[in-house]
Amino acid sequence: MELAVQPATLYIDADLLNHELESTERVDHNLPWKKQYEIWRHGSELMAGAKSQHDFEVAIMQFQRAVEQRDTILEQLYRFRTIPWFPSDASQYSIMASLGMIRPSLKEPLRELRNKIAHEVADVALDRKQCDYLCDAAWYYLKATDLPARQCATTLGLTCGEDDSHWTMLEFGFKPGSWTIAIQGDVPDRHVLTGRSPQALTIAVSTSTVAEHRGVRKVHFHGSVTGPDLLCRRLVQTFFDEAI
């Protein structure tokens, strides 16, 4: 017999997240992510044929323009600064670095040099070796962010205990930009904990039922993940890992 229950909150044992989460659905982004390579290539050609400091300066500006356009696309898609489980004053770049999407040491020198060229009255000394490095840094930055600019996972799922009465399923749904993590699950009630803890996913429940299956009480639920912060960041990290 199935019994309807409607708790406002469920606490699900986070040990379940030790099982592998894999993307089950993806979406392609319809944004001009390839155009940044055209800009980068223009800078590379300018640098290859450079005959003056001005040529180097223009090349550096092109590399930074390519990177900034890619940043704009990524922020438009993911709104990093609105992810609620990171500090409210964190920058887009620090959050991207925390998520393992970029390495700041490759990005910062290019931005700093571009700002010097754009804003300082005195000439900025440039040499070919320095420009070669920044050309490569911009290229690597584009390559590192190609996949999240092209597509992302919308659903991550895990199952364990197949062909067993304790079969367990969790599925997480992502809608980038809103950063509400939807969840549905079918779990033995032994994975439902009695209260809030760092080792429990906190679920704001929309619907839930309890039914016995082959002698095991199972809880089936839909809702959204609201905490704790550490586990939510872990889910967001997995979401981005699935795009890499």
Domain(s) of CATH 1.20.120: residues in the chain: 35-150
pLDDT band at 80 (very low <50, low <70, confident <90, very high): very high
Per-residue model confidence as pLDDT tens digits over 160-206:
877 777 889 999 999 877 899 999 999 999 999 999 999 999 999 99
Q: Would you state the pLDDT for residue 24?
A: 83
- What pTM was estimated for this model as a whole? 0.84
Q: Would you state the pLDDT for residue 120?
A: 63
DSSP of the chain? --EEE--SEEEEEGGGGGSPPEEEEEEE--S-TTHHHHHHHHHHHHHHT--SHHHHHHHHHHHHHHHHHHHHHHHHHH-GGG-TTS-TT--HHHHHHHTTS--HHHHHHHHHHHHHHHH-SSPPP--HHHHHHHHHHHHHHHHHHHHHHHEEEEEEEEEE-TTSTT-EEEEEE--TTT--EEEEEEEEGGGEESS--TTEEEEEEEEEEEEEETTEEEEEEEEEEEE-HHHHHHHHHHHHHTT-
Q: Would you state the pLDDT for residue 2?
A: 45
Q: So what's the architecture of 35-150 in CATH?
A: Up-down Bundle (1.20)
pLDDT band at 1 (very low <50, low <70, confident <90, very high): very low
Per-residue model confidence as pLDDT tens digits over 26-60:
899 989 999 999 999 999 999 999 888 888 889 98
